[in-house]
Amino acid sequence: MLEAALDILDGGGADALTMRALAKKSEVNPMTLYHHFGDQDGLIRALSERVYARVTAPRVGSVQARLMGLLQSYQSRVVQHPGLTLAIFRRPSAFPDQARRITDDLTALLGELGLPPTRLHLWISILVDFTHGAALATAMNGRSEAEDRQDKDIRDQEYTLALTELLDALARSG
């Protein structure tokens, strides 16, 4: 059912994912979905568990390297499943535990830099918003699958270069 839900999100976006559409694609009664997930928020949380569970920071390395690893891992999952991110944006009540965990990991890493709370929260917003914007722009570029594969390395390099600039600016700002 979760694979079918991701197929719907990936193919038609957040608006296309309804319990009825998922039931039809999964060839089950809609009530089965409600029994299994509770409601659409529960479905989105279950999808997030599946998609974002492996988004982690490396355990070793500099804070900047671990930040890079965490954000690159998250960015790649958003590029792969942009509809899920948009569904989470549209349904704040469905904010998943995995998104909270990723934010907590980012907060802990930035905390290692000794930032005061106001700057810490500012940099969380900067890095998360930048990552979402870059990933969603990449995912929604409207190119063919062949063009996407050809440009993936370039897009990843551009994201990494821009993220490096941001993290270097953070380090310089003390």
DSSP track, 74-102: HHHHHHH-HHHHHHHHH-GGG--HHHHHH
Apex CA 57: angle with CA 1 and CA 13, to 5°? 35
With a pLDDT cut of 70, the percent of the chain lying above it is: 94
- pLDDT mean across residues, the chain: 90
Secondary structure (DSSP) of 119-168: HHHHHHHHHHHHHHHHHHHHHTS---HHHHHHHHHHHHHHHHHHHHHHHH
In this predicted structure, what is the pLDDT of residue 124?
96
Name the pLDDT band for 172 (thresholds 50, 70, 90): confident
In this predicted structure, what is the pLDDT of residue 152?
72
In this predicted structure, what is the pLDDT of residue 144?
54
- Asked if 40 contacts 113 with a C-beta cutoff of 8 angstroms, the reply is no
In this predicted structure, what is the pLDDT of residue 150?
64
Domain boundaries, the chain: 2-48, 55-172
pLDDT digits (tens, 9 = 90+) for 13-41: 889 999 999 999 999 998 999 999 999 99
Residue 173 structure tokens? 């700002």
In this predicted structure, what is the pLDDT of residue 160?
92
pTM of the model: 0.88
Distance, first Cα to last Cα, the chain: 48
State which fold the 55-172 domain adopts.
Tetracycline Repressor; domain 2 (1.10.357)
Residue 163 structure tokens? 């993220």
Classify residue 28 by its DSSP letter. S
CATH number of 2-48: 1.10.10.60
pLDDT at 103 over 90: yes
